[in-house]
Amino acid sequence: MSGDSVMRREHDGFGANSMKRHAEGLLWLASFSCLVAAALTSLKAYLPFIAVVWALTTVAVVPLHFIRAWRKLGAVPNKGQYAAWVGFEAVCAIALIGSFIYLMISR
């Protein structure tokens, strides 16, 4: 199989990488949709269900994002800049999660 046909298969939407990207995108969509639903709902009975779905999708998609980003490091031409950016994303995510935990524990 030539390199051109491999590249074509990766970008035509039918490869395994494409399915993983779609799954990650659906998880992000579900996570953010839960936040919107929580903001727009007027029924308090729905909030626990929305919170559980949001927590499950977020716990699944955030590590998936960072694992895929760090694995991609070997394939990018500007490794230094990419590593700095993904490192900055990881530090910000850890700081945000730490802040949420601190706010929940301190109350």
pLDDT tens digits, one per residue of 13-68: 556 666 667 888 888 888 888 888 888 888 888 888 888 898 899 888 889 889 98
In this prediction, residue 3 carries a pLDDT of 47
Per-residue tokens: 13: 């939407």
Inter-residue contact 20 to 68 (CB < 8 Å): yes
In this prediction, residue 42 carries a pLDDT of 82
20 vs 105, more confident: 105
pTM over 0.75, yes/no: no
Burial class (CB in 10 A: 0-12, 13-18, 19+), 98: exposed
CB count, 10 Å around CB of 63?
11
Work out the average pLDDT over 59-85.
91
C-alpha torsion sign, points 16, 85, 94, 39: negative
Does residue 91 carry a pLDDT above 60? yes
In this prediction, residue 14 carries a pLDDT of 54
What are the φ and ψ backbone dihedral angles of 41, each rounded to 5 degrees? Answer: -75, 145
105 vs 17, more confident: 105
